[in-house]
Structure 1
């Protein structure tokens, strides 16, 4: 089943939530809606489900206009943040409720419920009422109910939000397999960028009443549309340094700690313009002082974070810069140091608008 949204608008009184949202989700695709709180992600899900109606625009499911179609007639499975569990039923009955409505046999219901409950690690609380469950168990019960129904379209509103870190990590590995087996078309909401990158075939980044960028996880991370998106993806956050590209002896450069950093010649049009240089912390590495092209810095502090060590340093002009390296690898803990930059990973943004500047392709001379 496919989902198509055309110019969707939605406001609540004077508060505009969605303004001209257009989106297509292919059959069997998992699309992640990602963005800060208040970006309209949940509202968009509720519009697709039919729980609320758009002020303008059209919603199509498998090419059929959903205008006037009741939620129960759309063939959509949902798991929302508020759980919406039947308080008088135990977890088993809640999960089995869509199968009960279809008149499935008890043996099929038991097999299906047991399978999905085991996957979500709630098989030990199947006979507990919702009031006896933790918020994380309630959330997994709501997710299990949506999965047990095996709908063609599945809307999941941050279903792992209240789940502990270990289980959340396991679900990032297990859920894609399960969703692929069901061949469902999935829209998945999350505020966790790691979850978005792990689960989504594509990611739609929402902010400021609409969708700012849609692309594969790799596209979003390596080529963010603007500064705001660049800052949402990555831990530690991307380094952003004010620069003004200039003409160097070998091409376009930007200066950090008074050292020229070679940029792509495709940025020739930005020479003399106020820009922001984006450098991912993992694109920087410590090298011996005096290494040609290295940036002199002063190391302020370092923080071990299990699989990596993050170092905070300052340039000669006092600008902060973060460096990330694998845990256990050598690096200075304090004092003077030097940093080499992988300039192939450098990003350039317009300082006023925040939009990423794509380098102009360099034409290759061909032999006559």
Structure 2
């Protein structure tokens, strides 16, 4: 297979297991985003792929060849870090050229390749600058150029946009997919930012507690999260998680009967804020709630409400709609479509109806 295949990777330290039975594949030309909270093993996984650490179990294969015990320099892997990790005594040109220099690449070829990747990343005008003379955006592009210049088979990006400003981060989210696919490498992009993962990843692997909890397209991870924890990782404002009671044919949610797939035992209902309709006047089937606050967020606003039994509820509305509510406390009515309700098992947190459940 062309690309990267990880099979049953495990790794532990004195403090305990960091990775346990991690398997995934990344095709050449594909971007896989790995998302997870801090300390869940994302960087350790990258270091194992790069050959900087050995797994306790499992294999790393690149283009169908087992590379588990191969030296880092023989794997054809490029890597860029969130802290840039540039050599301070090298200028930008020499930093980018360092992987080629280590391979004793002829001078003419080296200059040609460095120039080509620098032009593509729009940093050819600062190649003579030392890292201290570069902006964070230029440092980030220099680190990315260094990872790309040797045309690696596998490219590992460890949260490379974390330390750049919001404008550049937005621009790079648009530019990176085109740039990365042009190199036809198997790309793993690690991030804690769900928006970045959804913008860049062809597929997303959610890593929690050293295990892959969900492995799917961005759309499926958001619309059909495997668990409560996955649901909370994706979405801003966060998903509403509300207690529900199982009833014949469905559940009782916020005092309303809602037809749902078969469920039993204690359950939690999930509703995305954008799936709620909020009205200032009473509507059929509407649930009376108290509007506590309206919080503007860019071109939309978040409504903070309390349900019939004091449940905290969030909804999002457009700017013009938010203006109608004002800022004072008032009663409103909330509605939602039953098909937008996600059900989770209260004990395990797994989504009811998910294949893993």
TM-score w.r.t. the length of structure 2 is 0.92
CA contact (8 A) 1:7 1:57 kept: yes
After the TM superposition, which residues 344-355 of structure 1 pair with which residues of structure 2 at under 5 Å, given as runs? 344-355=339-350
| Residue 364 of structure 1: aligned partner | none
**Given the alignment of the two structures, is residue 114 of structure 1 paired with residue 112 of structure 2, yes or no?**
no
For 1:27 and 1:110, the matched residues in 2 are separated by 23
Question: C-alpha displacement at 1:189, in angstroms?
Answer: 0.4
**Given the alignment of the two structures, is residue 289 of structure 1 paired with residue 281 of structure 2, yes or no?**
yes
CA contact (8 A) 2:27 2:186 kept: yes
| Residue 263 of structure 1: aligned partner | 259
For 2:308 and 2:120, the matched residues in 1 are separated by 56
Deviation per CA, 1:145-175, whole angstroms, max 9, x where unpaired?
A: 1123322211111111101101101111000
Deviation per CA, 1:106-149, whole angstroms, max 9, x where unpaired?
A: 6513531431331xxx4554322123345554333211211233
For 1:217 and 1:319, the matched residues in 2 are separated by 29
1:356 to 348, 351, 354: 351
Deviation per CA, 1:31-77, whole angstroms, max 9, x where unpaired?
A: 11110110101100110010111111111111211132110000111
**Given the alignment of the two structures, is residue 304 of structure 1 paired with residue 296 of structure 2, yes or no?**
yes
For 1:140 and 1:37, the matched residues in 2 are separated by 24
For 1:310 and 1:233, the matched residues in 2 are separated by 16
After the TM superposition, which residues 1-150 of structure 1 pair with which residues of structure 2 at under 5 Å, given as runs? 1-100=2-101, 101=103, 102-103=105-106, 104-105=108-109, 108-109=112-113, 111-118=115-122, 122-150=123-151
For 2:267 and 2:251, the matched residues in 1 are separated by 12
Q: Structure 1 46/226 Cα, relative in aligned 2: closer, same or farther at 3 Å? A: same
Q: Structure 1: where are the runs of 5+ without partners?
A: 361-368
| Residue 219 of structure 1: aligned partner | 220
CA contact (8 A) 1:85 1:130 kept: yes
Question: C-alpha displacement at 1:359, in angstroms?
Answer: 8.0
Question: C-alpha displacement at 1:2, in angstroms?
Answer: 1.7
Deviation per CA, 1:298-353, whole angstroms, max 9, x where unpaired?
A: 00001111121101000121111001012222542330000111222110001111
Q: Structure 1 68/359 Cα, relative in aligned 2: closer, same or farther at 3 Å? A: closer
Question: C-alpha displacement at 1:24, in angstroms?
Answer: 1.6
Residues matched between the structures, number: 348
Q: 316-325 or 79-88, which moves further after superposition?
A: 79-88
| Residue 197 of structure 1: aligned partner | 198
1:275 to 260, 267, 273: 267
Q: Structure 1 315/21 Cα, relative in aligned 2: closer, same or farther at 3 Å? A: same
For 1:255 and 1:113, the matched residues in 2 are separated by 56
Q: Structure 1 92/328 Cα, relative in aligned 2: closer, same or farther at 3 Å? A: farther
| Residue 188 of structure 2: aligned partner | 187
| Residue 365 of structure 1: aligned partner | none
For 2:116 and 2:109, the matched residues in 1 are separated by 11
Question: C-alpha displacement at 1:94, in angstroms?
Answer: 0.9
Question: C-alpha displacement at 1:193, in angstroms?
Answer: 0.3
Q: Structure 1 285/123 Cα, relative in aligned 2: closer, same or farther at 3 Å? A: farther
2:310 to 318, 337, 341: 318
For 2:88 and 2:274, the matched residues in 1 are separated by 48
For 1:27 and 1:4, the matched residues in 2 are separated by 11
Q: CA RMSD in A?
A: 1.9
**Given the alignment of the two structures, is residue 339 of structure 1 paired with residue 348 of structure 2, yes or no?**
no
Q: Structure 1 130/226 Cα, relative in aligned 2: closer, same or farther at 3 Å? A: same
Q: Structure 2: where are the runs of 5+ without partners?
A: none
| Residue 154 of structure 2: aligned partner | 153
